């Protein structure tokens, strides 16, 4: 009976997020003031009083979700994690939870990542789309065929749960792929309201920028394994953790495979720390026998 903590990524944000934590915890106040100084703007004001549109800006969204998740974990006083994982951005929160990174270093890396991704998004019209109820191998084959025929990038980006896979690429390639997915029997192939092609080769400029920052940051040996997005297995070696964290920007989030690996290694209880309940739902779609809960 192993306790796993899981941490959400971009998309979990909402107006007023973490305000209750700030008002009830001296530790949260301290972390928020530190974050305001590190980021160079008052992220607390945007999180507590900003609009949905304000929170959608990548340079705000990513540190906001990270901050909320870390504080939810640190103030929860729950059982000690025996394994951790995070969805995309959430991997940074997971690395604070298992002591691989300290809060300040992790927040600085999240800020660099967010700004680099924002710049990469501005280089070419690109997007993502959710494909429902189509086999993973069929989605992979269609993406490969569209790329081969057009030379336009489109790849599987997020393996969220059985029957839910997000693709990522140029606007043209994603639109073509969506039509073919629907023709192949997908229940839906819906273009998402995102500003770019996350977890695709189009993020290469951002990856190079983030790699330099990660390589110059000290990573500790973790207290417990992190199950990383790109390899979908337990990792404890700081050098390998760095490598996988860098590759994550252009590689797929293998969430389905990652959760299956955690369960195979003994996880029975999954606690989602941070805003929202999306990951709890995905875990149950992967294996309905699991016990899920959340701290926010």
Quote the CA–CA distance of 230 and 247 in Å, as a whole number: 7
Phi, psi of 34 (to 5 degrees): -65, -40
Decide: residue 215, CB within 10 A, 0-12 exposed, 13-18 middle, 19+ buried: exposed
CA nearest to 4, candidates 57, 89, 110, 78: 78
Decide: residue 183, CB within 10 A, 0-12 exposed, 13-18 middle, 19+ buried: exposed
What are the catalytic residues? 88, 199
- Most distant CA atoms of the chain, gap in Å: 57
Quote the CA–CA distance of 63 and 68 in Å, as a whole number: 8
């Amino acid at each position: 009976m192993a306790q796993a903590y899981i941490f959400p990524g971009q998309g979990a944000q909402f107006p007023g997020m973490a305000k209750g934590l700030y008002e009830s915890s001296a530790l949260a106040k301290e972390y928020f003031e530190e974050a305001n100084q590190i980021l160079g703007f008052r992220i607390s004001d945007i999180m507590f009083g900003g609009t949905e549109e304000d929170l959608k800006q990548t340079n705000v969204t990513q540190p906001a979700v990270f901050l909320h998740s870390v504080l939810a974990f640190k103030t929860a006083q729950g059982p000690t994690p025996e394994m951790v994982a995070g969805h995309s951005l959430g991997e940074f929160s997971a690395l604070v939870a298992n002591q691989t990174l300290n809060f300040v270093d992790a927040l600085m890396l999240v800020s660099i990542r967010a700004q680099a991704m924002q710049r990469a998004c501005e280089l070419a019209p690109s997007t993502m789309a959710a494909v429902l109820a189509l086999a993973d191998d069929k989605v992979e084959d269609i993406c490969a065929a569209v790329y081969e025929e057009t030379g336009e990038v489109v790849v599987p980006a997020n393996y969220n749960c059985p029957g839910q896979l997000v693709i990522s690429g140029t606007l043209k390639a994603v639109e073509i792929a969506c039509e073919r997915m629907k023709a192949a029997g997908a229940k839906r192939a819906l273009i998402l309201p995102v500003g770019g092609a996350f977890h695709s080769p189009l993020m290469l400029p951002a990856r190079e920028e983030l790699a330099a920052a990660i390589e110059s940051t000290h990573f500790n040996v973790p207290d417990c394994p992190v199950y990383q997005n790109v390899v979908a297995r337990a990792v404890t070696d700081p050098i390998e953790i760095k490598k996988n964290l860098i590759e994550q920007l252009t590689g797929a989030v293998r969430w389905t495979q990652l959760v299956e690996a955690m369960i195979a290694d003994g996880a029975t209880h999954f606690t989602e720390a941070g805003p929202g309940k999306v990951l709890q739902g995905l875990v149950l779609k992967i294996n309905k026998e699991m016990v899920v809960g959340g701290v926010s």
